[in-house]
Amino acid sequence: MRRTTIDIWVGVFVVIGFLALLFLALRVGNLGSSKLQSPYLLEARFDNIGGLKARAAIKSAGVVVGRIESITLDSKNYQALVSMRMDDRYRFPKDTFATINTSGLLGEQYIGLEPGGDPENLEPGDVIKKTQSAVVLEKLISQFMFNAAEKGTSGDK
Amino acid sequence: MLDRILSFFQAVGAGTISAVWRLGFAARFFGMVLILSGSSFRRINLTLREVYFSGVLSLVIILVSGLFVGMVLGLQGYDTLARYGSEEALGVLVSLSLVRELGPVVAGLLFASRAGSAITAEIGLMKATEQLDAMDMMAVNPIARVVAPRFWGGVISMPLLAALFSAMGVLGGYLVGVVMIGTDSGSFWGQMQASVDFQRDILNGVIKSVVFGVAVSWVAVFEGYDSDATAEGVSRATTRTVVTSSLAILGLDFILTSLMFRG
């Protein structure tokens, strides 16, 4: 009698414990939703990737279409080589334009893909040729300051 | 003068030696528990009973504190995030801080003071009333019969309690953030799912809670077994359990965090 009540309570405890774990895995974490379907790899070269990190999202028109697999430095021409794992459902034309964007003011950085008009699609393993680097705030500010300084000197003359 | 210096060094030396001796005793005791824990799985009812006492009976405090910690995180997080205009990141903040840190650590601290102290007091009292000696006389090994099931009961309960704590906390954050304050429910869950990784965040949290479970249960059974066989000795052992296992949890948490999330 007493033993069965203990068994029942332990059973309830273990079951709701595992349910909590399942809730964390599926509802809180990304185990259920963001599994890419039979992914293929694409590559892109950037002059500067800013704060981009591995496993950041790749979005097209705001929809997540892939994740960044790895980021390495190509030691021949000192460009960042970004390897991207793309969802197989989505194919992009050959002249797709890859930019590094930031979501929100302080958000994470991601790669945005803007498809061009080429009739042929990028095949697995292809390299995206048209890329735009991340905006580095310091460069932007220094550019602005130099411009302002030049304007100031030309105004004196 | 020389006498005083000598006695100072003697005190330091004696303290060090007894600390090392105690640590070695604890390690050998841990080994004995592991070696003799076969019977706690052969006679699984012994372990289930301890899961009941340390796990099921801790449910109420774990669930209620998880809910309240989550609700406080929701309020505080909203207040801070609203200054930067990124209220929709509330779900990320609540879930990451719970799953990575607060879930395992706070559940571990609660578990140490709720279940760890009870285990120590129980074993200590059994020792004080010579029940352990009586078992030894009847050729029943007290470590296999009494200590090992309590150890494994704690090790099994702790990860489940930590998962429940985190889940309740996320629900508490949802209650405050979405139901009470009214941030967008879609971005609350969506951003959370986008930035909580199963392996990096959730699995590492589970690993932490397993490590804390082993540490707390080990400290609890050791302090109980090692306590002086008096009423005062049992009370001191219970206090030591809570202090030592809380410090162990915080120290281990720092080590594990620096191993898991440094990169």
Higher pLDDT, B256 or A77: B256
Instruction: Answer yes or no: do B194 and A17 touch at CB < 8 A.
Output: no
Sheet of A63-74, strand order: A127-128, A40-46, A79-86, A63-74, A57-60, A109-114, A97-102, A130-132
H or E, element range at A64: strand A63-74
Calpha distance A131→A85 (Å, rounded): 17
3-class state of residue A72 by DSSP: strand
Write the residue in B59, B168, B198 that is nearest to A29 by C-beta: B198
Calpha distance B233→B117 (Å, rounded): 13
Residue range B158-210, pLDDT digits in tens: 999 999 999 999 999 999 999 998 888 888 888 888 788 888 889 999 999 99
Tokens representing A46 are 């950037």
Calpha distance A157→B214 (Å, rounded): 78
Residue B133 has pLDDT above 60, yes or no: yes
Tokens representing A137 are 């705030």
pLDDT at B182: 86
Range of the domain at B136: 44-257
Is A17 in the B-facing interface, judged by CB distances under 8 Å?
yes
Tokens representing B263 are 């990169």
* Chain B: residue whose CA lies nearest to A13: B56
ipTM score here?
Answer: 0.81
3-class state of residue A84 by DSSP: strand
Distance of CA B195 to the CA centre of its chain: 27
Q: Is the pTM of this model over 0.90?
A: no
B 184-203 residues with CB < 8 A to A: 189, 192-198, 201-202
3-class state of residue A79 by DSSP: strand
Q: Does residue B179 fall inside a structural domain?
A: yes
Shortest Cα distance, chain B CAs vs residue A141, angstroms: 22
| Max mean pLDDT range (A110-124, A137-151, B34-48, B108-122) | B108-122
Residue A32 has pLDDT above 70, yes or no: no
Instruction: Answer yes or no: do A21 and B48 touch at CB < 8 A.
Output: no
Which stretch of B40-44, B99-103, B168-172 has the lowest confidence by average pLDDT? Answer: B40-44
Residue A76 has pLDDT above 90, yes or no: no
Q: Does residue B3 fall inside a structural domain?
A: no
Is A4 in the B-facing interface, judged by CB distances under 8 Å?
no
Residue B138 has pLDDT above 60, yes or no: yes
Residue B68 has pLDDT above 90, yes or no: yes
Is B48 in the A-facing interface, judged by CB distances under 8 Å?
yes
Interface test with B, best of A4, A5, A10 (most B CBs within 10 A): A10
Domains: count for chain B? 1
Residue range A105-147, pLDDT digits in tens: 666 788 888 888 888 888 888 888 888 887 777 888 888 888 8
Q: Does residue B32 fall inside a structural domain?
A: no
Write the residue in A12, A20, A104 that is nearest to B167 by C-beta: A20
Q: Does residue B14 fall inside a structural domain?
A: no
Residue range A80-109, pLDDT digits in tens: 888 888 888 888 888 888 888 887 666 678
Shortest Cα distance, chain B CAs vs residue A50, angstroms: 17
Task: Residue B146: name the closest of B65, B35, B245, B36 by CA.
Answer: B36
Q: Does residue B96 fall inside a structural domain?
A: yes
Is B84 in the A-facing interface, judged by CB distances under 8 Å?
yes
Task: Residue B116: name the closest of B255, B240, B254 by CA.
Answer: B240
Tokens representing A134 are 């991340």
Interface test with A, best of B83, B87, B164 (most A CBs within 10 A): B164
Mean pLDDT of A33-59: 78
How is residue A121 annotated by DSSP? B
pLDDT at A123: 83
